[in-house]
Amino acid sequence: MAQNHLLIVGSMAFDDLDLPTVEARDVVGGSATYASIAASHFVPVRAVAVVGGDFPQAAIDDLGKRGVDCAGIERAEGKTFRWWGRYAKDLCSRTTLDTQLNVFADFKPKLPDSFKKSPYVLLGNIHPALQLDVLSQIDKPRLVAADTMNFWIEGERKLLGQVLEKLDLLVVNDEELRQLAGIHNLKRAARAVLSMGPKRLVVKRGEFGALLFDSDGSFFVPAYPLEDEIDPTGAGDSFAGALLGVLAQSDSADRATFRRALHAASTVASFCVEGVGTKRLGGIDSGSIQKRQAELRTLVHPGD
């Protein structure tokens, strides 16, 4: 059986992380990095992103060794996108200390010809105009998922609306959902957002798990309870990457597959939190994912 490629568009970045246990500098991150590594545990990935001259080739080579096709990673003149964040002691909130868009400010994703037939697509959190442009370059994708953020919800409502109409799946956190719907109650907000176009909606709630809403009703997957929470950076992107990875691997988005994919996504995201940057996420194998995923199932299984 031919494997289904997953196309991932997003950011690649240097993160400076003030964590409760450590201050980490120049950590290779960005949504495309986390999502690609997470998805690569399940399917071959095609990454589309931009980096500056200062980005280490070794980090790109490392993605390549994981089965990520890096032909869509453009190296532009200038510096790589950089984010500096400080986490609260309980890791439940964070403050952005500095953002330098650098080459990401002029990012115009151009898909290599070899990427244009990608059946599964994850559009990371970039300008909705760019998300639309990427979609126009892809030949009849089977499933398109996207993320977004408060900045575009506030400022690019109309374009974002056009994106939503084209989505099979929107993956956002609870605050983004509430902002998008203008409704606080999660269930009502979900219904409002589903009426804007996406066939399915996944709401990420960090340590409180995630909820799926679709025409079938709703489904809840808990976060795996961790003893060693080190760094939540990229956990949401890892969640989305693993979710799409399993859907592409299974070449299905039926009810049972989707629920299993959400369990896998929650599992992979939990590993991400256990290490600084992509350290733990990149170090796991399919055996450790399967073991923890089985524990997650037991965690919610009534047991009768």
Contact residues: a second copy, CB under 8 A: 89-90, 184-188, 205, 208-209, 211, 217-222, 225-229, 255-256, 259-260, 263, 297-304
Q: Which is nearer to a second copy, 110 or 255 (CB)?
A: 255
82 backbone dihedrals φ, ψ, rounded to 5° = -135, 135
CB 278 within 8 A of CB 37: yes
Q: Which is nearer to a second copy, 84 or 219 (CB)?
A: 219
Q: Strand runs (DSSP E) across 76-129, as ranges?
A: 81-87, 94-100, 120-123
CB 50 within 8 A of CB 27: no
Which region, left, alpha or beta, applies to residue 169 given φ > 0 means left and ψ of -120 to 50 means alpha? beta
Q: Which is nearer to a second copy, 44 or 222 (CB)?
A: 222
CA atoms within 13 Å, Cβ hemisphere of 25: 0
Neighbours of 114 (CB within 10 A): 12
Q: Which is nearer to a second copy, 78 or 222 (CB)?
A: 222
Q: Which is nearer to a second copy, 121 or 221 (CB)?
A: 221
CA dist., res. 3 & res. 278, Å (int): 25
Q: Least distance (Å) from a second copy to the CB of residue 297?
A: 6
Helix/strand/coil for 146: strand
Eight-state DSSP code of residue 139: S
Q: Least distance (Å) from a second copy to the CB of residue 3?
A: 22
